[in-house]
Structure 1
Amino acid sequence: MQNIENKVAYITGGTKGIGFGIAKALLENGVKVAISGRDIDAVEKAKEELGNQNILALKSDVRNFDDEMKAVEKIIATYGKLDIVIANAGLGKFAPVDEMSLEDWNVMIDTNLTGAFHTLKATVEQLKQNKGYYFSIASLAGTNFFAQGAGYNASKFGVVGFTQAAMLDLRNYDIKCTTIMPGSVTSHFNEHIPNEADEWKIQPSDLGQMIVDLLKMNPNVLPSKVEVRPTKTK
């Protein structure tokens, strides 16, 4: 089993939901964590809620490559290295394809797909140096299409394809790449407020534990694409 204590991780979209759950799990396992988001006040609030001295709050919009480069520079200046990257920032806008606005299409592609590329592009040299691990958080919507999901499906199908191709490109540098494809998760996605009715869903803490387990797995093994569902449906 791999020892991950004192590794350094960067999580985009780390202020709530899945990103927050992953940050909490990593911190509990001795990892030093940087989280980012577009709203620095929200990032600082998440940092306070996590209540751990080994966390760095960063402002970054993954749609902007320069933002991601500056975030990485701050991580290196603070911790001296970067070992683990979780491209988690994402959003969804849902409408029939003939009614979908150009703005909604572009914000999904730019955030969910191009953002995942920007995050990897900004961190890949550190991952090469440290034989690191890159995770993208996709969705079962990256393999299962549905009505009113054309833009979201396109972005998440893209994330799956991007990560799998990146895995083949980067494995020769001893970099691991995995895409996680969750089904229904208790989160703030699409302005949802988590409540008791969400208990049957995957919890952010479950995905956090999954990331920890993957990081600790024998280095000879790479689960490159992981589909995750609730045990039961509602």
Structure 2
Amino acid sequence: MQDLRQKVAYITGGSKGIGFGVAQKLIASGMKVAISGRTLKTVARAADYLGDANTVLALKSDVANIDDEKTAVNQIIDKWGQLDVVLANAGVGHFAPIDQMSDAHWHQMIDTNLTGVYNTLKASVEALKESKGYYITLASLAGTNFFASGAGYNATKFGVVGFTQAAMLDLRKYDIKVSTIMPGSVATYFNDNEPSEKDAWKIQPEDIGDLVLDLLKMHPRTLPSKIEVRPTRPDKK
């Protein structure tokens, strides 16, 4: 997939943060990109900023709902006739000691961060077989490093890492590449953060976009299946 012109990508949670930053980089490389989110108005606003109707498609989809994801993929195929790259990026985080965590927050994280990744792959896998495409999940360093008040989030991200690596073994016989990206601190709106100069030390969304481009341009014989990425110099408290 070293020539990305006219290739088609689908990014869940693409209206802001990492998904939006990746979308910008892929569009600049000549790709057509569909972005989705739970609120169409928000996604459409982001799509208008990213490009025109020939290059960007705004979709309403809750990744926790398999039917939403199937509909989203079908809309992409109807518009562009193919699907080459999928980035399962949508995610939520709630942090509290396990004895104080609400059942609602636990289930929302499981349904979005873990089941959502499964739903997105199940909805897109046949299209990726056709294109010999690439499926990428956005995990986290929290998928290998546990921390206090992170039981729910850790559980989902550990799960995403395991799911993605097993899926990689299942799908490479179809010439589908599968990778997971595990970032540390990224300057996004995650967990009610408002990105500003205080986040300059963090990984920027466009940095993850560059990393995705590097993966897509890698020689077909080589697969970086799990990538950890972190700020060079963490903020000193």
Task: Report TM bin, short chain.
Answer: over 0.9
1:4 deviates by 1.1
- Provide the rounded CA distance (Å) in 2 between the counterparts of 1:202 and 1:149: 21
> Is residue 31 from structure 1 mapped to residue 31 from structure 2 by the alignment?
yes
- Provide the rounded CA distance (Å) in 2 between the counterparts of 1:192 and 1:152: 17
Partner of 2:162: 161
- Provide the rounded CA distance (Å) in 1 between the counterparts of 2:75 and 2:128: 16
What is the total number of aligned residue pairs between the two structures? 234
User: Deviations for 1:71-94, whole angstroms, at most 9, x for unmatched residues?
Assistant: 011000000010100000001000
- Provide the rounded CA distance (Å) in 1 between the counterparts of 2:100 and 2:162: 26
- Provide the rounded CA distance (Å) in 2 between the counterparts of 1:129 and 1:45: 31
Which runs of 5 or more residues in structure 1 are unaligned?
none
- Provide the rounded CA distance (Å) in 2 between the counterparts of 1:97 and 1:45: 37
1:5 deviates by 1.0
Which runs of 5 or more residues in structure 2 are unaligned?
none
> Is residue 42 from structure 1 mapped to residue 56 from structure 2 by the alignment?
no
- Provide the rounded CA distance (Å) in 2 between the counterparts of 1:212 and 1:6: 14
1:107 deviates by 0.2
Question: What residue identity is the alignment partner of 1:101?
Answer: S
- Provide the rounded CA distance (Å) in 2 between the counterparts of 1:117 and 1:191: 25
Task: State the TM-score, normalized to the length of structure 2.
Answer: 0.98
Mapping 1:71-82, distance limit 5 Å: 71-82=72-83
- Provide the rounded CA distance (Å) in 1 between the counterparts of 2:5 and 2:209: 15
Partner of 2:231: 230
1:51 deviates by 2.8
Partner of 1:139: 140
Mapping 1:78-93, distance limit 5 Å: 78-93=79-94
- Provide the rounded CA distance (Å) in 2 between the counterparts of 1:137 and 1:113: 11
Range that drifts further, 50-59 or 202-211: 50-59
Partner of 1:190: 191
Question: What residue identity is the alignment partner of 2:46?
Answer: A
Task: State the TM-score, normalized to the length of structure 1.
Answer: 0.99
Cα RMSD between the aligned structures?
Answer: 0.8
Partner of 1:8: 8
1:8 deviates by 0.3
1:112 deviates by 0.2
1:134 deviates by 0.1
Secondary structure of the structure 2 residue equivalent to 1:93: coil
1:22 deviates by 0.5
Aligned residues with identical type, % of pairs: 65
- Provide the rounded CA distance (Å) in 2 between the counterparts of 1:155 and 1:193: 24
Partner of 2:96: 95
1:49 deviates by 1.5
Secondary structure of the structure 2 residue equivalent to 1:159: helix
